[in-house]
Structure formats: C-alpha cells, structure tokens
Amino acid sequence: MEQRMLGRSRIKISPLGMGCWAIGGLWSMLDGPEPRPGGWGHVDDAESIRTIQQAVDLGINFFDTAANYGCGHSERILGQAVADRREQVVIATKFGHVIDEETKIMRPDDSVVLANLRSDCEDNLRRLGTDYIDLYQFHEGEFDLVEAIGVRDLLEELVKEGKIRAYGWSTDLVDRAEVFAEGEHCASIQFRLNVIFDAPEMLALCEACDLASINKSPLFMGLLTGKFTPDSTFGTDDVRNAWNFKGEQGQNRLKQVDALREVLTSDGRTPAQGALAWIWARSERTIPLPGFKNQQQVEENAGALHFGPLNSSQMAQIDSILGRA
C-alpha cells in the first residue's frame, strides 16, 4: 500500500502506524477516589526498542505515543529507538493531563491545560530527545468547547515557532473535532474505529475537512485478534483487568468475534490483519494504530499491508453479521 498524507499537513506517512501505549509499562490513572491501572503490564525496554526499529525496517514510519503512557516512559523509549533515524520517522505525541514521572501517576485537570501547554510541549520534546514534534495531539477528549479555541490558537503559535509541525485532537466527539478542524494547521483527529465500533460521522468530518483519520483501538484492545476465551483474565496491572468474558457483555463480544472470524481471515489473513483491512476499506484517510510489545506482533500487523483493504463484498458481509445497515 502506498503512503498516505497526514491530512492537510501533507506529511507523508505509512498507512499503518504503531501505537506506543503498551510499551509505557506500569503506571496509574487517578481520575477517581483510587488509582487504577493505565498500562498493559510489565515491558522489556530492550525488546521495545528492537521492535520499533524493526517496524521502521518494515516500512512503518508513523509512531503514536503520549505523555500519559508510562508517565513519559513510552516517549523516552521511542526517542531512544529512533535517535539515529529521526528524519525517517513521523512522531505523534499528546498532551493535556498532569503526569508525575517519578510516582507514575497521571491525573486529569482541565483547569491547567492551557497554562501548562507550553511547558508540556517542552517536556514532550525533552523525553523524545528531539527539537520538533510532527503531530501534537490534545489528549482530553471531552474538554470544554469554548476553552478549546484557546488551546487551538496556542497550538498555532507552536507551529509558527517550529516546535510542532501540525496538531490534532484525540477525541471521539464530533463537536470537539469540529473546533480544531477550523485551525489552519490541524491535520488529524484520532478516534476509536474498529470492526465492532464504526464512526461514520467522524469519518465524514475528516473527509470534509481534509484531515487524517488516526484510529485508536483498531484491534479492540486485543479482542479482535481472536485469542481470548471465556477463561481469559488480566493482571491487576493491566488496564483491561475489569474485563469479564464470563459475563453477558463479555460473552456477547466473544460471539461477535467468532462470527466475524471467517470473513476477517479471508484470503489468508490472520484475524488481526483482517481487522486492519476493514479500517483501510472504510476510508482512504485511515491510519490504524495497533499496539505492540514484541517483534512478532509488529511482523503480523505489518503483514496486513501486503493484503490491503477488504473488498466491498467482504465489507457487506461484516455489516450483515453485525446487523448494520
């Protein structure tokens, strides 16, 4: 598959990105009375670095991270991995929360987003070991609409100063995305999109406003790989630890995945490769961001590029299975 444009920025990126959430290691979110896990369990930093470099060798040049992921740890690992090939890669990161790099605790605080934006950007640059960020994304998806205009305007200043090349918003809310879409250097919206959770309104906005559609949770946090069973559980340090595949919702999800298996694995694809192919078939602007912890996962995801998008018949089959018009 040919490279795609990062929206109106005209930056060329691979049609598949790598989501760097899982390589952040252990960290917690304090958005309620008690901290809860924000990561995906323990990681091997050396393996993470080898895997990122392997992804570049396989033709993947787009990497998405955030200050939240490991409270800076993911950014540092990504920066180390691409230090000698910075010009070959496109780095996206995010801001908008308060992180403590020592305690590994993140907390939301909308009241300081604008005041902290410049210092947050400097911290992102420091951890990544670079002097510019290709795509800088707002990470607070439900931020106040009116105040978001001030955030957008300050991001425009950072573009003029050369700190960032373009910006976007990581949000599932179309009305929030519309605010940023009015900015000259807004290039993308990041939102959840996968076989089970379609997002036609957001896809239409990206098309109308010449924005890249960056897609988080393309494999539904691993569910669409088909590897989970009713007995699958997660550790207390895993963000998915509350998932229950023996409950009604969990059982229904497993049934959906099983029903989709045949069409997703058509033409020799794995279930994960079929899930990525569905996203590419939804729009020529989509860039899915599967996560990774090891080289095998990146090899499998990169292998989806050789198959390309699903065809119209396969897409219709999926809509029929899921009861979508």
pLDDT tens track for 145-165:
999 999 999 999 999 999 999
Q: Over 90: is that where the pLDDT of 298 sits?
A: yes
| pLDDT value, residue 133 | 98
pLDDT at position 174: 98
How high is the pLDDT of residue 127?
98
How would residue 325 be classed by pLDDT, with cut points 50, 70 and 90?
confident
DSSP assignment of 36-77, as one string? EE-SBS---HHHHHHHHHHHHHTT--EEE--STTTTTHHHHH
Band the pLDDT of 103: cuts 50, 70, 90: very high
**Burial of 27 per CB tally in 10 Å (0-12, 13-18, 19+):** buried
- Give dist(CA 307, CA 325) in Å, integer: 26
pTM for this one? 0.98
Amino acid at 259: A
Q: What is the pLDDT of residues 201-241, one digit of tens each?
A: 999 999 999 999 999 999 999 999 999 999 999 999 999 99
Using DSSP bridges, classify how beta strands 28-29 and 105-107 pair: parallel, antiparallel or unpaired.
Answer: parallel
Which positions are catalytic?
69
33, β-bridge pairs: none
Please report the pLDDT score of residue 57 as a whole number. Answer: 97
Amino acid of residue 92 = A
Beta strands in 35-185 (DSSP E): 36-37, 62-64, 90-95, 98-100, 105-107, 133-138, 164-170
The answer to whether the CB of 213 falls within 8 A of the CB of 286 is yes
Give the model's pLDDT for residue 299: 98
Q: Specify the CATH class of 4-322 in words.
A: alpha beta
pLDDT of 130 above 80:
yes
Percent of the chain with pLDDT over 70: 100
For residue 42, give Cα distances in angstroms to 103, 248, 300. Answer: 16, 29, 21
pLDDT of 74 > 80? The answer is yes
pLDDT at 198: 98
Average pLDDT, the chain: 97
CA angle 302, 26, 68 (to 5 degrees): 75
Mean pLDDT across 104-128: 98
pLDDT at 66: 98
How many whole angstroms separate alpha carbon 53 and alpha carbon 258? 34
Give pLDDT, residue 311: 98
Percent of the chain exceeding pLDDT 90 equals 99
* Nearest-angstrom CA–CA distance, 69 and 94: 10
Mean pLDDT of 273-289: 98
What average pLDDT does range 242-251 have in this prediction? 97
